[in-house]
A = this chain, B = another copy of it.
C-alpha cells in the first residue's frame, strides 16, 4: 500500500471524531486541509481503512457511519437527534441454545439500544 496524504488525513479525521460521522462529513472536514479532495477519494479510502482494520463502519438505517474506535463495542442511539453513544455493554447470548434451537452457528451480535439522550430530558 503506497502512502497517500489524503488517506492519512481521512484516517486521522475519523480516529479523532467522536460522532460516528458519515462520508459527507468526513469529506467536508478533509476539504479544510486539501481543498480539492474528491468525494470519491473519501469513499474509496474509508473502505480501504475499514478493510485494513483501521476504522469500523456502522450501518445506521440508510446511511453508513464510521467509527474511529476499533474496540469491540456497542452503541446507544438517540431517536431524537441521531446521536450514537459508545458503551461497554456486553451482549450475552446462549450459543448452544441458538445452535440447538435454530441449527444456526452464531459468531457475532450487533445491537443498538434506542432511546433518548440527555439533551432531550426536560
Partner of A76, one of B64, B98, B121: B98
CB distance from A116 to the nearest CB of B (A): 5
The chain B residue sitting closest to A76, CB to CB, is: B104
Q: How many copies does the complex hold?
A: 2
**Is A36's beta carbon under 8 Å from chain B?**
no
Bound Cα distance A107, B61 (Å): 18
**Is A48's beta carbon under 8 Å from chain B?**
no
Task: Report, as a range, how many residues of chain A touch the other chain.
Answer: 20 to 34
The main secondary structure of chain A at its interface with chain B is: strand
**Most chain B beta-carbon contacts within 10 A, residue among A61, A76, A91, A104:** A104
Bound Cα distance A37, B121 (Å): 46
Task: Give chain B residues whose Cβ lies under 8 Å from the Cβ of A87.
Answer: 98, 101-102
CB distance from A86 to the nearest CB of B (A): 9
Bound Cα distance A62, B78 (Å): 20
Are B114 and A85 in contact (CB-based, < 8 A)? no
CB distance from A58 to the nearest CB of B (A): 11
